[in-house]
Amino acid sequence: MRFSLGKLTLPLYAVLAFIYLLIPIAYTFVFSFNDSLKTNLIWRGFTFDKWTNVCQREGVCEAFGNSVFIGIISTIFATGLGTMIAIALVRYRFKFRSSVNLLLFLPMATPEVVLGAGLASQFFNLGVQKGIWTIIIAHIMFCLSFVVVTVKARVASLDPALEEAGRDLYANPTQVFWKITFPLLLPGIASAALLSFALSFDDFIITNFNAGSDMTFPRYVYTAAARGVPAEANVVGCAVFALAILIVLATQINGEVKRRKLAKVH
C-alpha cells in the first residue's frame, strides 16, 4: 500500500506542477482571442481580429520589432565574443586567467537591478544618450557570461586527438579550426546563441534602466498591464511561444533522425 501510494504521488505531483506552469500561458492564449476594446481584463467574446490585425494596436509591433532587433544584435556580439573567450580560457594559459574566469561570473551573480542601475549611472556620467544602442551594450555585457559558460563546457569536452589527427594530415591551424573544431563546437555555440537571444528578448529590469524613451516588448507589456495586457500583445506572446516550441521539436526530431541513421550504420 505504501509503495502504491508513493508510485501514484509522484506522477500526480508532476501533473499538478505542469498545470500550474501552464496556467499563465493558457490565460495568455485564451485572451489573445478576446474581443476587447480599451482593456483586456474581462472576456467580451471570441474573435480572430486580434490575430489578423495584430499591428492595429499602436506600439505593439514597434516594441516587438525593437526587441527582436536588440536580441539579434546582442546575440551576434555576445556569441562571437563569448566563444573566443571560452576557447581562450580552456585552451590557453595566460596571466590573470583565473581572475578573468572569476570576473565573468559576476554579471550572472549580480542582481539585475544592481547591474542595470550601475550601467545607467555609467552612461549618465559619460554623457551617453540612452536608447536602442545603450540597451544593446547592456545586453551584450549581461549575456556574455552565459555564452562563455555554455561554450566553455563544449570546448572542455572536445577530444584533442581529433585536432591532432587534422594536423597530422598536414592541415594548417586555420583549416583545423574551421574543418574540425568549429563544427564540433557548433551545437554549443548554437545553444549559447539561443540562450542569449531569449535572455535579451525577455529582459525588463536592465532594459528599463537603460532604454530612455525607446520601447521594447517587455516594457510595453509592463506599461500596459495596469489596464490589462492588450490582446495584440497576447498574440505576439503566443506566437513567440509557439515558435520556440517548434524550434525545440524540430531540434529533437532532427537529433532522433540522426541517431537512427547512425544506429543503422553501426
Q: Cβ neighbours of residue 171 under 8 Å, at least 6 residues apart? A: 179, 180
Segment 206-223 shows an average pLDDT of 89
**Total count of residues recorded for the chain:** 266
Looking at 67-71, 133-137, 223-227, which range is the least confident one? 223-227
pLDDT digits (tens, 9 = 90+) for 106-132: 888 888 899 999 999 999 999 999 999
% of the chain residues with pLDDT over 90:
29
- CATH number for the segment(s) 59-229: 1.10.3720.10
Which amino acid, 247? I
Band (pLDDT 50/70/90 cuts) for residue 34 is confident
Q: Does residue 189 carry a pLDDT above 80?
A: yes
Chain Cα centroid distance, residue 169 = 39
pLDDT digits (tens, 9 = 90+) for 87-105: 988 888 888 888 888 888 8
pLDDT digits (tens, 9 = 90+) for 252-261: 888 788 788 8
Cross-strand bridge partners of residue 153 = none
Band (pLDDT 50/70/90 cuts) for residue 265 is low
Segment 227-250 shows an average pLDDT of 84
Q: Where in the chain is the domain with CATH 1.10.3720.10?
A: 59-229
- Whole-angstrom Cα distance, residue 33 to residue 237? 13
